[in-house]
Amino acid sequence: QAVLTQPPSASGTPGQRVTISCSGSTSNIGSNYVHWYQQLPGTAPKLLISRNNQRPSGVPDRFSGSKSGTSASLAISGLRSEDEADYYCAAWDDSLSVWVFGGGTKLTVL
């Protein structure tokens, strides 16, 4: 059972906008940055969004992140087939002194 809660799946058609939620608590999301990782099929995870809403160089501006209280969201606009992947949120937990991940959301582009 993951400490951060994500929907197991999400879907959309090309060009649509989809959002993926990540719910935590005051000791993790409520106190620290949230980071998002993308894992394309058969590959290692890759940093997608850091520090709640910062896009690393090379990440398209179709991807955006936000945080409010103990929840965070990843939004993908202009959905493309190559966005089909698993998405994970992560945060440091001050109470547990561990890093915690969400269970992951499998995004399907219909």
For residue 110, give every residue at least 6 positions away whose Cβ sits within 8 Å of its Cβ, in sequence order, or none: 11, 12, 13
Taking contact as CB under 8 A, which single stretch among the options 17-25, 61-69, 71-79, 101-109 is the one that binds other proteins? 101-109
One of 45, 55, 75, 84 touching other proteins (CB under 8 A): 45
57 belongs to the binding site for other proteins (CB under 8 A): no
67 belongs to the binding site for other proteins (CB under 8 A): no
One of 46, 68, 80, 110 touching other proteins (CB under 8 A): 46
Q: Extract the tokens encoding 4.
A: 């951060």
One of 9, 14, 98, 110 touching other proteins (CB under 8 A): 98
Paired strand residues for 109: 12
Which DSSP string corresponds to 48-106? EEBTTTBPPTTS-TTEEEEEETTEEEEEE-S--GGG-EEEEEEEEETTTTEEEEB--EE
**Interacting residue ranges for other proteins, rule: CB under 8 A:** 2, 32-33, 35, 37, 39, 44-47, 50-51, 56, 86, 88, 90, 92, 96-104
